[in-house]
Amino acid sequence: MRFLTRSLIALFFAALSFAALAYAGYTLVSAVQTRAEGPSGGPPQGRERSFTVRVTELRPEDVTPTLAAFGEVRSRRSQDIRAPLSGRVLEVAAGVEDGAQVQAGQLLFRLDPADAESSLALSQAELSRAEAELRDAERAVVLADEDVAAAQEQLDLRVRALERRQGLATRGVATEAALEEAELAASSARQALVGRRQAQAQAQARVDQARTALDRAQISQAEAARRLADTRVHASFSGTLADVSLTEGGFVTANEQLARLIDPDALEISLQVSTAQYLRLLDPDGQLRPAQAEIALDVAGFAVTSPGQMMRASATVDQGQSGRRLFVALTAPRGFRPGDFVTVRLQEPALSNVALLPSAAVTPAGTVLAVNADNRLEAIPVSVLRRQGDEVIIEASALAGREIVREVGPNLGAGILVRPQREDMSGDPGQTAPDMIALDPERRAKLIAQVEENTRMPAEMRARMLAQLSEDVVPAAMVERLENGGGRARSGG
């Protein structure tokens, strides 16, 4: 029994081996027959491979380049809030804190005014004393003037008396003693007048000193009033507070910084550009153009934008730096804050007879691939004028009307056969007719037979494809699909 079982197993494996050999022989014979059924019975003829490329017709135009740079937002108007004098903080106004909005003239804090009020009272008392001294000096001048006038009258009388005695002495009536007495009286009157004039000069000098003392007292009083006013600190303009370090009851020293006031509507961007980029922003006179700008702040995927305008350039170059520092004013600063890191795009002067292409259209060798009349690629050197993001600006006067490949891949090069997919300059597909090719009779017959043998193709589609294959020219896409196996016959069993 065991012998019979082993014999049957051996017989089964032998039959299986013969079946495998027979299938291999059948496969070999089918392959030989398929090869023999090729065109003209010779080796199969390979077809040249072609690639579908996106092309655009290059049209020279005027393009405004955009200079992109990074910058920092700064405040054009800010103020350090400092303590004008030493003292204790008596009051901090409500709402004075970091980020608070204040209005021009609003009270921020108040220092203890006791010392300032005492100084003002003393200066006012000193001013009153100086005013009284001036009034007294002016009255003394009036009295001195009257004394001088009286002494002058006395002198005039003594002089007339002396002249009369001299006349009498000439006629021999008066004695020598009387004449000498008249001369002594006149001399005494003259000396008294000189004394009165000295007193008058001293009175006038006293008036000048009193006026000087009054001026000093007025200055002291004004300074004391200013110190008293400095105990109340107000906002100079409307803005936002930052770095607030005020504490009610705390002691501050003179000139100590207690806060910063920033105007949120007066912001600008400070950015660094290369010297070459800076030179492109100058006008023929060497002055900076008032170029328009667009500022963007990317916050968690949401962009805050604002228009801007070029304002000025730094007068010096920072030590260890190169290029130039520019300043751009924000037109709509809403949402921006000092210290933000933003992207600035400046408009350069427009370029003529240029074209804007994707950067992938220019090869590393500085050439573009153009499609000639035979649908083959041709490498043409170009001059790249600007690179901005994923786009380049090239000189296009020599390439007007040529179809340029928008994306150059590793399989593309000069002489490669392509199937152009035409698009406009913006990359949108153009309204162009499909590529058509002419078929020789043998190739046409083979494709017709392939379509007729496809039992799974809908009848309407088969009829439409047979009608297209009967035309003089056939869509290249349909021929490619059929030759790649898209229209082979499939049996149901």
pLDDT tens, position by position, 363-401? 888 889 888 888 888 888 998 888 887 888 988 888 888
pLDDT at position 493, please?
A: 32
Q: Are 241 and 100 in contact (CB under 8 A)?
A: yes
How big is the CA angle at 69 (ends 67 and 74), to the nearest 5 degrees?
125
Judge whether residue 433 has pLDDT over 70.
no
Strand partners, 51: 418
Question: Could you tell me the two tokens for 382?
Answer: 């170009």
* pLDDT value of position 35: 59
Q: What gap in Å lies between CA 419 and CA 433, rounded to an integer?
A: 12
Q: Comparing 245 with 182, which gets the higher pLDDT?
A: 245
Number of neighbouring beta carbons within 10 Å of residue 39: 11
The whole-angstrom separation of Cα 104 and Cα 324 is 36
Instruction: Return d(Cα 306, Cα 99) in angstroms, integer.
Output: 22
Position with higher pLDDT, 219 vs 422: 219
Distance CA(408)–CA(43), nearest Å, equals: 35
Within 10 Å of residue 139's Cβ, how many Cβ atoms?
12
Task: Count the alpha carbons within 13 Å of 481 in the hemisphere toward its beta carbon.
Answer: 9
More confident of the two residues 485 and 77 = 77
pLDDT tens digits, one per residue of 400-411:
888 888 888 888
Strand 292-299 to strand 418-423: parallel, antiparallel, or no bridges (unpaired)?
A: unpaired
Closest alpha carbon to 295 in 336, 263, 265: 336
What would the CATH number be for the domain defined by 115-229?
1.10.287.620
What mean pLDDT, rounded, does the chain reach?
A: 83
Helical (H) or strand (E) element with 19: helix 2-36
- Identify which of 187, 139, 140 has the alpha carbon closest to the alpha carbon of residue 162: 187
Instruction: Please check whether the domain covering 263-347 is classified as CATH 3.30.300.
Output: no
DSSP bridge partners of 369: 379
Give the pLDDT confidence score for residue 428 in this predicted structure.
56
Strand pairing category for 341-347 and 384-388: unpaired
State the CB neighbour count (10 A cutoff) for residue 259.
23
**What per-residue string of b and e applies to 275-293 under the rule 16 or more CB within 10 Å gives b?**
eebbebbeeeeeebeebeb
Instruction: Return the bridge partners of 395, or none.
Output: 354
pLDDT at position 216: 93
Mean pLDDT of 453-475: 79
Q: Tell me which of 217 and 492 has the higher pLDDT.
A: 217
Better pLDDT: 289 or 318? 289
Gap between the Cα atoms of 121 and 125, Å rounded: 6
Q: Which two tokens mark 104? A: 């021009």
Domain extents for the chain? 52-65+351-423, 87-112+231-261, 115-229, 263-347, 435-486
Instruction: Give mean pLDDT, residues 446-471.
Output: 81
Contacts of residue 465, Cβ cutoff 8 Å, sequence gap at least 6? 451, 457, 478, 487
- Largest alpha-carbon pair distance within the chain? 210
Tracing tokens 């009165």 back to the chain, one arrives at 196
Is the Cβ–Cβ distance between 327 and 308 less than 8 Å? Answer: no
How far apart are the C-alpha atoms of 145 and 207, rounded to whole Å? 13
Q: Does the domain at residues 87-112+231-261 carry the CATH identifier 2.40.50.100?
A: yes
Q: Class of 52-65+351-423 per CATH? A: mainly beta
Position 209: which residue type?
Q
Structure tokens at 477: 């896409």
Contact 237, 75 (CB under 8 A): no
- Any bridge partners for residue 69, and if so which? 344
Give the per-residue pLDDT at 122: 93
CA distance linking residue 44 with residue 396, whole number of Å:
45
Provide, rounded to the nearest whole percent, the portion of the chain with pLDDT above 70. Answer: 90
Q: Are 273 and 317 in contact (CB under 8 A)?
A: no
Pick 175 or 336 by higher pLDDT.
Answer: 336
Q: Which of 246-250, 314-318, 437-441 has the lowest mean pLDDT?
A: 437-441
Query: Between 470 and 233, whose confidence is greater?
Result: 233
Task: List all residues 6 or more positions away from 105 whose beta carbon is below 8 Å from its beta carbon.
Answer: 234, 235
- For the chain, give the percent of residues with pLDDT over 90: 17
Contacts of 252 (CB under 8 A, 6+ apart): 83, 86, 87, 88, 89, 111, 258
Alpha-carbon gap, residue 280 to 385, rounded angstroms: 12
CA distance 438 to 418: 16
